[in-house]
Structure 1
């Protein structure tokens, strides 16, 4: 039996990273997955999403407030357990998105070669051109394969790095999504911020549909 992966089986793999894999990366993973399930099957099955924590423990449940805000947004929190970040997971990802600059640095300490595909969540949302840098359906240079297109968008974000500045004036690093305080409202606000960034990211990665 032939078990080789064909071009149409190849998936674009997104890895979200925070500290414990209890809150922010879990929210990003599930909100991304919720959005992807609304895409046509021919597109949705070409994307894979997972998450991990730089200092988390394996096989722990998500934070109960994380589960609550996900359920309220129509994203199923069932059957999830935490994962500790590994170099193997980083190597297998086409795009690594972290909650903060600190986690981005931790990713690169584990696997320096991932520098051209590792961003904070907000950084990538800021850098990835929503139209693919002017690409549209009639553009003959626009890849038909969704994985190739997503990889092209990551490359475009890398080129924009250093040329696009984010706003300053906050005590929090501009591209960071801080850990939510210990209240349900804080988790809800965090989920809102992540969901907003996820929508921008997925629009950039998936192109015209």
Structure 2
């Protein structure tokens, strides 16, 4: 990861005045190059500073979500694997709130496209999806841009404490109502009577 960060940093630094545009381009094609979100946000913070790095990362992550939206709308069968992952990890009865999606995006090992799919299922039109993407991407960009370098130097016990705080917030921001589909509630069972 350090080698990837060094190469990305050197490439962007050598881009001159085109560096912000190339940085946004990297954000928009990040999922195809398998570059982690945290890595790009850290590089943005180093190159552009805290304020511009955060701004560019929010814009870049939002562009990435919009690209996901159009790819999903154009090729829904291609995303069957992401749907299976959602059903396996989350199921179809749990509705994540915007706050929960925001917290999950801040956790580095969560699958970013899975969270985009969950957000897309909540907000079907482009305007609402884009607005919710900006809301959920902003804390992630701030966290990784401002604290990205120090996160890699934290001890395992501090990381566990941070993850426990995220877990508590995730629980507190949950949706208080569970919706059960009519067919699953009255599903026939093969039990003897």
Q: Do both share a fold (TM > 0.5)? A: no
Between structures 1 and 2, the one with greater strand share: 1
The TM-score, its normalising length taken from structure 2, stands at 0.26
TM-score w.r.t. length of structure 1: 0.24
Structure with the largest fraction of helix = 2
Of structures 1 and 2, the larger Rg is shown by 2
